[in-house]
Structure 1
Amino acid sequence: MPKALKNILKFLAFLSIGLFMIWLAVKDMTPEQFQDVKRAFLSGNYWLVVPAFIIGIGSHLSRALRWKILIATQGHRPGTLNTFFAVMVGYLVNMGVPRLGEIARCGVLANYEKIPADKLIGTMIAERALDLVCLMLVFLLCLVLQLDLVTGYLSTEVWPSLQTKLANADAGQWLIILAIAAAVIGIIIFLFKRFAASKAAIKVRALMRGVWDGFSSIGKMDRRNLGWFIFHTVCIWFQYLAMLYVGFLCLPATRELGFTAALTVLVLGSVAMIVSPGGIGVYPFLIQKTLLLYNIPETTGVAFGWIIWGAQTLLICILGLLSFIWLPIHNKKS
């Protein structure tokens, strides 16, 4: 299959997930609820978008500086502006096809800084693996800080429903459940055996080696660079959190929410960005459902989700397009 067609199909597949989530969020809404959503939008203090944008730019700059430190372990020292521009172009491309942006930013920096692309891809893989580890740590922190909320939700919403279904299941239903479980396990074992010798498995092993090489390069940093690397990693995630907290201040109904709620939104929002192009549809839907845990009305959750998604998307579009335009101009001057 041609690569261009494959990317188009991938884009359409991810986009369809986002559109489905939009439909899922609004399909049961009454005209009165649509009016509530409209009122929530109109009640927003949109001047707070300005500090949110400044924080967002800071997070992107920290990401560029952290990547620059990682690239330096490979013996190359790209310019700060070129690195920042490459990061923003990558984000912009990700709005169209998730994960393609990582390749794009490596290509941009390789072109303008004359750095071997394979070296950059190795650092990019390590950076993304580190982001995954950070996301897991943030998730664990979120659970620890809100243990009462999590256990309360499980005990009142999940466990009683599960108990009822298990208690009402007859022998025939249990047999069906066991048969399905056995079939799933069998399919997984079969696919694993088939997959182990496939080209995809070879690519995965190569990817894991790249991740390992990238992480090992972090260990080779001197104390000063390692300190700055950790500093920028903390800055990235703290600024993401701060952006969401400022977002809470936009709407009267969410102003009382604190950093723990912002942590939950950050975790689920990060997952949503992977599922569809730029998180369209999925991000607002997950945020809407998350805010129900904090007794925020569903209609307010819809408005808040779209406000945050819209602000983030607008910032990426502006910075991405400006970076795309300014890259050749900046390098011509250089």
Structure 2
Amino acid sequence: MGTPPFKKIIKKTFQIALPLILGGFILIWVYRDFDFSKVGHVLFHEMNYWWMLVSLVFGVFSHVFRGWRWKQTLEPLDAYPKSSNCVNAIFISYAANLVLPRVGEVSRCTILSKYDGVSFSKSLGTVVTERIIDSIMVVAITGTTLVLQLGIFKSFFAKTGTNLDSIGQIFLSPEFYIITLCVIGVCILLYKLMRLLSFFEKVKGIALNVWEGILTLKHVKNMPLFILYTFLIWFCYFMEFYLTFFCFGFSSNLSFMAGLVMFAAGSVAVVVPTPNGAGPWHFAIISMMVLYGVNVTDAGIFALIKHGIQTLLLILLGIYGLVALPFTNKN
């Protein structure tokens, strides 16, 4: 028997509401005593928009390189979609993830199935491979940064109540509960992924196609190009974040290493299933900026403006992708 319609509605509502509630709760807590009037002053009177524009160019190219790399992983499946379709699908997928985390992975595969006839299940397998590579990159970047800036991370753990020398302080620290909520959110995401995989196992042929898509990495024709694309994707991610420092007087003196530490912390934070990492990302960036000497108000302004403009970019790119696809596929 299928799931009753009412239960389906409740389930869908829960899936949409949970990330919003989690992200909203963390945002409210982080900005509970914040003076938002200062954001407008910085935004309209102090911010250097030229640096922000340059950073956003890197943001756009990170998606372009991801689209090109995705096309490369589809070729071993005898799938040859247009480069523009791959890039536009990436644009749309990131915008879709703002509505419901991880739904973008499904939308991009649907787009290639519609416009290029690429097998949905096989292309989904390549997306799984892509997520594995992304996870490896996050671990590598975080591990390297942790070794190079161990003192800063120790200070962060102590500040957020994770200093194991004082068990009592751990449970009295509000930050500890923020981190706990984030961990719970990640666990729920992993549970949903496992449920999805178990569903594939029950459907004849789909699991095999997904697995075939995952294994395409073994048959990529030009591996040096694939590695280059991977490097450029993450280089662009970092530059998009780091160049934003120069948009504000209070952060323009932060070092390259400070940028790497905050980028690593932010990359881990966005794993939490909230729209574009809203909430956990702000918490991580503000905490790290304070450790580097930026006052908490300025750090909050930086996180709000940076995340807000980045989210706006994702929305605009998603709209562009939706408009461009019909025009580039008239035939």
Q: TM-score range by the shorter chain?
A: 0.7 to 0.9
The structural deviation recorded for 1:302 is 0.6
Query: Equivalents in 2 of 1:317, 1:105: separation in Å?
Result: 15
Q: 1:256 to 1:331 in 2, by over 3 A?
A: same
Larger Rg: 1
Q: 1:38 to 1:25 in 2, by over 3 A?
A: farther
Q: Is residue 329 from structure 1 mapped to residue 327 from structure 2 by the alignment? A: yes
CA contact (8 A) 1:21 1:282 kept: yes
Query: Equivalents in 1 of 2:215, 2:199: separation in Å?
Result: 20
Of 237, 253, 258, 1:256 maps to 253
CA contact (8 A) 1:95 1:278 kept: yes
* 3-state SS of 2:165 partner: helix
CA contact (8 A) 2:128 2:214 kept: no
The structural deviation recorded for 1:11 is 1.6
1:129-278 correspondence to structure 2 within 5 Å: 129-151=132-154, 162-165=164-167, 202-203=198-199, 213-214=212-213, 216-222=215-221, 225-274=222-271, 275-278=273-276
The structural deviation recorded for 1:234 is 0.4
TM-score by structure 1 length?
A: 0.79
Q: 1:157 to 1:58 in 2, by over 3 A?
A: closer
Which residue of the partner structure matches residue 15 of structure 2?
10
The structural deviation recorded for 1:321 is 0.4
1:74-153 correspondence to structure 2 within 5 Å: 74-151=77-154
CA contact (8 A) 2:23 2:277 kept: yes
Query: Equivalents in 1 of 2:284, 2:313: separation in Å?
Result: 21
Q: Deviations over 1:205-242 (max 9, x none)?
A: 799988865553212223xx111110000000011111
The structural deviation recorded for 1:141 is 1.2
CA contact (8 A) 2:125 2:211 kept: no
Query: Equivalents in 2 of 1:210, 1:295: separation in Å?
Result: 51
The structural deviation recorded for 1:82 is 0.6
Query: Equivalents in 2 of 1:313, 1:165: separation in Å?
Result: 38
Q: Deviations over 1:46-81 (max 9, x none)?
A: 222211121111111000001000011111111010
Q: 1:205 to 1:298 in 2, by over 3 A?
A: farther
CA contact (8 A) 2:123 2:210 kept: no
Which residue of the partner structure matches residue 26 of structure 1?
31
* 3-state SS of 1:163 partner: coil
Q: 1:73 to 1:246 in 2, by over 3 A?
A: same
Query: Equivalents in 2 of 1:325, 1:257: separation in Å?
Result: 39
Which residue of the partner structure matches residue 306 of structure 2?
308
The structural deviation recorded for 1:314 is 1.1
CA contact (8 A) 2:89 2:108 kept: yes
Query: Equivalents in 2 of 1:327, 1:139: separation in Å?
Result: 36
Q: Deviations over 1:87-145 (max 9, x none)?
A: 11111110100000100010011100011111111111111111111111111011122
TM-score by structure 2 length?
A: 0.80
Query: Equivalents in 1 of 2:211, 2:263: separation in Å?
Result: 27
Q: 1:314 to 1:34 in 2, by over 3 A?
A: closer
- For 1:91, the aligned partner's letter is Y
Q: Is residue 317 from structure 1 mapped to residue 320 from structure 2 by the alignment? A: no
- For 1:18, the aligned partner's letter is G
- For 2:69, the aligned partner's letter is R
Q: 1:52 to 1:152 in 2, by over 3 A?
A: closer
The structural deviation recorded for 1:243 is 0.8
CA contact (8 A) 2:251 2:294 kept: yes
CA contact (8 A) 1:52 1:246 kept: yes
Query: Equivalents in 1 of 2:72, 2:219: separation in Å?
Result: 11
* Number of residue pairs the alignment of both structures matches: 298
Q: 1:7 to 1:260 in 2, by over 3 A?
A: farther
Pick which of 96-105 and 43-52 moved more: 43-52
The structural deviation recorded for 1:309 is 0.6
- For 1:326, the aligned partner's letter is A
The structural deviation recorded for 1:291 is 1.1
Pick which of 205-214 and 147-156 moved more: 205-214
- For 2:325, the aligned partner's letter is L
- Gaps in structure 1 of 5+ consecutive residues: 168-194
Of 264, 281, 284, 1:283 maps to 281
